[in-house]
């Protein structure tokens, strides 16, 4: 695919005052009927549409987005990309996704700024070391990479971590070298442009208000811009999953919770990897603009509001200062919240639903950004072939009835603990 934003084009546009740029995608009116409708123009909806066209030749596709493309969680997250999971059902999928990240900018002809700067999960006890050793071995067995670091390794890799903290002394960490971060908006825009160029209609300001089902089969959707017929409909609406499921009369095992994120003032380079605290849920990295980007656990209560509360802010700041004391000197610039689609076992669902032709992509919890390419790859395969590929065989909707859950944290069936 021609690289619209390549060096020579940038040079030419610079010389002629940037007068030649065209919109990156069309703004079409919805057609009366499509082969496939994807509800939700976030990262997962856009990547699904892209791979439907690219991998399966299905281009009579519409992505219906109630707001603007990328206005949901895909543009609100802390951009960590990794595949350091314990359970086969997760590590198989997330490793596939990480491999797609590694070639994504070239594939899309769009710089998604994937930066494999590594992630280190720090541990603070012998038992946590055992658990991380097991996780690292499991990752290696599934083709991912993992290295166990001791205390000196942490000092070397992340000198600002308070290794000798008297309350939470650091014993070491599990490092995944190929992990890192990416630019979230660019990922949404890259997939949007790629899908549009292959003929997919991206329709913004188009809220799905009903899902039409006849004799147990999906036949289309109702929207604020009129009804649209479709042979197949895929849901990729993240924090709105339970609401949209309800439109089809589907009770789904998803709870929505708020997750907050924080950014500091811009600083000179001080953190070279993504690092996570093991004595509390806290993660931090430094963006290319210099801001420290960090977050922690959910706000705990159910909500569809994209804002959080102050007790969680206090908790996050405490964790930050315990882990990287230098942060106490830094000014916090801004914070925001996003609505997380939490599943009971903390792992995603990519599956058919009991309604024929209606497919579900949900339960991304904290981790759906890194899943963006993998999710589209696998969801498009499911929609095109009516059967899952091997990366998502365990991500079934009925696992909460059969008991074959993918309980990554061993936290049990409580949504807000994952």
Ligand X SMILES: Cc1cc2nc3c(=O)[nH]c(=O)nc-3n(C[C@H](O)[C@H](O)[C@H](O)COP(=O)(O)OP(=O)(O)OC[C@H]3O[C@@H](n4cnc5c(N)ncnc54)[C@H](O)[C@@H]3O)c2cc1C
- The Cβ of residue 31 has, within 10 Å, a number of other Cβ atoms equal to 12
| The one among 53, 74, 86, 120 contacting ligand X by CB under 6 A | 74
- Closest distance to ligand X from the beta carbon of 2 (Å): 27
Using the minimum distance from each CB to ligand X, give the nearer residue, 129 or 358.
Answer: 358
Using the minimum distance from each CB to ligand X, give the nearer residue, 29 or 126.
Answer: 29
Phi, psi of 327 (to 5 degrees): -65, -25
Residue 80 found at the interface with ligand X (CB under 6 A)? yes
Q: What is the DSSP string of 118-176?
A: -EEEEE-SHHHHHHHHHHHHHHHHTT---EEEEHHHHHHH-TTS-TT-SSS---EEEEE
Using the minimum distance from each CB to ligand X, give the nearer residue, 258 or 405.
Answer: 258
Residue 208 found at the interface with ligand X (CB under 6 A)? yes
- Closest distance to ligand X from the beta carbon of 249 (Å): 15
Interface with ligand X in residues 335-394 (CB under 6 A): 338, 340, 364, 366-370
| The one among 34, 49, 73, 359 contacting ligand X by CB under 6 A | 73
Q: Which helix (H) or strand (E) holds 377?
A: helix 372-385
Interface with ligand X in residues 228-257 (CB under 6 A): 236-240, 244
Residue 72 found at the interface with ligand X (CB under 6 A)? yes
The residues near 23 (Cβ < 8 Å, ≥ 6 apart) are none
Interface with ligand X in residues 111-170 (CB under 6 A): none
Using the minimum distance from each CB to ligand X, give the nearer residue, 171 or 324.
Answer: 324
Pairing of strands 349-352, 358-362: antiparallel
Hey, which bits of 33-109 come out as E strands? 33-39, 61-64, 80-81
Which tokens hold the place of 366? 């904290």
Which tokens hold the place of 225? 């811009």
Stretch that binds ligand X, among 6-14, 37-45, 378-386, 397-405 (CB under 6 A): 37-45
The number of helix segments (H) and strand segments (E) in the chain equals 11, 18
Residue 37 found at the interface with ligand X (CB under 6 A)? no
Site string for ligand X, 296-335 (x = CB under 6 A): ----------------------------------------
Identify the bridge partners of residue 121 per DSSP, sorted by sequence position.
174, 276
Angle at alpha carbon of residue 47, lines to 41 and 49, rounded to 5°: 75
Using the minimum distance from each CB to ligand X, give the nearer residue, 63 or 129.
Answer: 63
H, E, C per residue of 254-267? CEEEEEEEEEEEEC
- Closest distance to ligand X from the beta carbon of 316 (Å): 11
| The one among 192, 261, 378, 397 contacting ligand X by CB under 6 A | 261
Positions that interact with ligand X (CB under 6 A): 39-45, 64-67, 71-74, 76-80, 207-208, 236-240, 244, 259-261, 295, 338, 340, 364, 366-370
């Amino acid at each position: 695919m021609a690289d619209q934003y390549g060096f020579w084009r940038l040079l030419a546009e610079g010389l002629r005052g940037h007068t030649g740029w065209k919109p990156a995608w069309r703004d079409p009116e919805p057609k009366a009927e499509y082969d496939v409708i994807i509800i939700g123009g976030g990262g997962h909806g856009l990547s699904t549409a892209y791979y439907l066209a690219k991998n399966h030749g299905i281009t009579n596709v519409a992505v219906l987005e109630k707001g603007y493309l990328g206005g949901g969680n895909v543009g609100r997250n802390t951009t960590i990309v990794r595949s350091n999971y314990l359970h086969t059902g997760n590590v198989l999928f997330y490793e596939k996704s990480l491999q797609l990240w590694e070639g994504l900018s070239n594939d899309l002809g769009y710089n998604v700024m994937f930066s494999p700067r590594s992630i280190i999960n720090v541990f603070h006890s012998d038992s946590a070391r055992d658990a991380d050793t097991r996780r690292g071995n499991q990752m290696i067995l599934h083709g991912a990479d993992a290295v166990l670091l001791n205390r000196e390794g942490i000092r070397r890799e992340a000198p600002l971590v308070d290794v000798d903290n008297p309350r939470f002394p650091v014993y070491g960490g599990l490092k995944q070298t190929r992990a890192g971060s990416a630019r979230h908006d660019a990922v949404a825009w890259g997939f949007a442009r790629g899908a549009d160029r292959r003929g997919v209609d991206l329709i913004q300001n188009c809220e799905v208000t009903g899902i039409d089902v006849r004799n147990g089969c999906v036949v289309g959707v109702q929207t604020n811009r009129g009804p649209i017929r479709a042979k197949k409909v895929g849901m990729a609406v993240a924090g709105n999953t339970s609401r949209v499921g309800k439109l089809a009369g589907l009770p789904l095992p998803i709870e929505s919770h708020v997750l907050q994120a924080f950014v500091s003032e811009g600083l000179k380079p001080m953190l070279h990897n993504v690092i996570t605290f093991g004595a509390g849920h806290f993660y931090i990295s430094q963006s290319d603009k210099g801001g420290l980007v960090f977050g922690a656990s959910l706000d705990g209560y159910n909500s569809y509001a994209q804002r959080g509360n102050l007790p969680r802010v206090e908790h996050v700041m405490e964790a930050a200062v315990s882990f990287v004391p230098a942060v106490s000197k830094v000014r916090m610039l801004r914070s925001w919240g996003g609505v997380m689609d939490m599943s009971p076992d903390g792992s995603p669902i990519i599956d058919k639903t009991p309604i024929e032709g209606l497919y579900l992509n949900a339960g991304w919890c904290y981790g759906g950004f890194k899943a963006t390419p993998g999710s589209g790859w696998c969801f498009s395969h499911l929609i095109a072939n009516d059967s899952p590929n091997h990366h998502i065989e365990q991500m079934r909707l009925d696992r909460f009835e059969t008991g074959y859950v993918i309980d990554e944290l061993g936290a049990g069936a409580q949504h807000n603990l994952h």
